[in-house]
Chain A
């Protein structure tokens, strides 16, 4: 394995203070938690995080590394609101740019297409526009004359994505039920780090699966990191479901700094923990 494959030591050097980092997955589903843990260990600060948020966002709020979250929600699915994110919002510790989900999709797609904005109906009449005056409207130049939202591009310095399998060329395979918009994150980013349950030979990727499962191709990926169990405790179907017990432990840690230190020591500071989780699964 060579090509784009990197090890844990190299991973830490890819994060810098002040970066805008997009994180793939959706809620508490297929989040690149091993990459998030590496970001925690890097100590990079003042981050702007763009995410269909789950425990990725909550973790980085809890560690105090976030300046701003660009999001449509931050949920743990079986727990409606991530309590670390809620605490950061309620204490005023972080800034947020709250968008409708489909506006964020539009912004990522515009960035990937190298366009300044994407036209959408979404946001009109809602307070998403009131609290985000940087988002402007545009009048259709055609006969309808409708006023619509010009959702600005959301370009990323870095995208973090976790998939089931990858190869050393930077092909990424999604075998689960939903690709979410991970490909849009990869296209919107100057650089993309892809972690995968396993890194295999290119030929092996399509031996038992349709090429349509190859969500990311080499033009969208810069670095590949093998991380079995790398989405734990979130879902990574069909490899594993959500670990609800560990998610509860994570959520409860929001209520007590001592619990958080214990969670952090066990699951973020130890770079081998995710591998252990996978072996124990």
Chain B
């Protein structure tokens, strides 16, 4: 049993989000949500020092600021029009939130219910269709449940593997849904036919909890690893440098 060093579920999810960016250099990391934002910044401070970070608006960070803080200097200008050029060139890994995701990786944050008269309007299509056919996409679902891990999404904003294949090489050529991180575990698309599979369980979460919170046939391997714990250096960076106000604990509760 490894030393937990008091790592919370939120700390574990941050480290899992950091691991999304392993081996990646000179691309823009675009995380949505507190946990993925901390994950991307942790990656930049540890194993992925050339990862490019921005304020999500027009400023590329020169340093790695704490959550809610401004960077001290800028390393570039990225207004929306230039962001779309960067996306089209494939130089990005986005971590999107979402209301619904299915086992093929199709994603919805547009609206719940019928598109033409939804019963709950959400964000709209934003740039999910652009992101998913141009560069790596991962997802962060803070509360995994049968309402978020669904058999069929109500509207496909982010494109999953089956839809990308069906739309032809123009859609499939750069399509890559990498992983899904939730409050319970980490998933990838190594199941039968490229469907969602449980990659690791967060320490403290059970397989039963995962299955109770999944509305589709999830591939579960014979042996299930535990999501790795953040190490001492990572915990110090998370607690003392990146998120001393503990905002991550509001987004994830075990």
Q: Does B127 contact A (CB under 8 A)?
A: yes
Q: Does A128 contact B (CB under 8 A)?
A: yes
CB contact under 8 A between A124 and B127, given known A90-B120, A90-B121: no
Please tell me if the beta carbons of B57 and A177 are within 8 angstroms of each other in the complex. Answer: yes
Please tell me if the beta carbons of B127 and A101 are within 8 angstroms of each other in the complex. Answer: yes
| B132 contact set on A, CB distance < 8 A | 125-126
CB contact under 8 A between A71 and B124, given known A100-B130, A146-B170: yes
Please tell me if the beta carbons of B133 and A181 are within 8 angstroms of each other in the complex. Answer: no
| B175 contact set on A, CB distance < 8 A | 125
Q: Does A32 contact B (CB under 8 A)?
A: no
Shortest C-beta distance, A122 to chain B (Å), equals: 4
Please tell me if the beta carbons of B163 and A126 are within 8 angstroms of each other in the complex. Answer: yes
- Indicate which residue in A71, A105, A179 contacts B84 across the interface (CB closer than 8 Å): A105
Cα–Cα distance between A91 and B84 once the two chains are bound (Å): 33
Cα–Cα distance between A85 and B123 once the two chains are bound (Å): 11
Q: Does A206 contact B (CB under 8 A)?
A: no
How large, as a class, is the contact surface on chain B?
35 or more
Most buried by B among A105, A122, A147: A122
Beta-carbon contacts of A13-30 to B below 8 Å, as 1s and 0s?
000000000000010000
Please tell me if the beta carbons of A124 and B84 are within 8 angstroms of each other in the complex. Answer: no
Cα–Cα distance between A158 and B74 once the two chains are bound (Å): 36
Please tell me if the beta carbons of A101 and B81 are within 8 angstroms of each other in the complex. Answer: no
CB contact under 8 A between A131 and B57, given known A98-B125, A122-B129, A179-B79: no
Of residues 152 through 178 on chain B, the ones whose CB sits less than 8 Å from some CB of chain A are: 155-160, 163-164, 166-171, 173-175
Please name 20 further chain A to chain B contacts, defined as beta carbons within 8 Å, in addition to the given A125-B156, A125-B166, sorted by A numbering: A72-B127, A80-B122, A85-B121, A90-B117, A90-B118, A100-B127, A101-B126, A102-B84, A102-B127, A103-B129, A105-B84, A122-B133, A124-B171, A125-B159, A126-B132, A126-B158, A128-B125, A147-B168, A180-B79, A180-B81
**9 closest cross-chain pairs (CB), A and B:** A124-B171, A125-B159, A86-B121, A73-B124, A126-B129, A146-B170, A125-B163, A125-B167, A100-B129
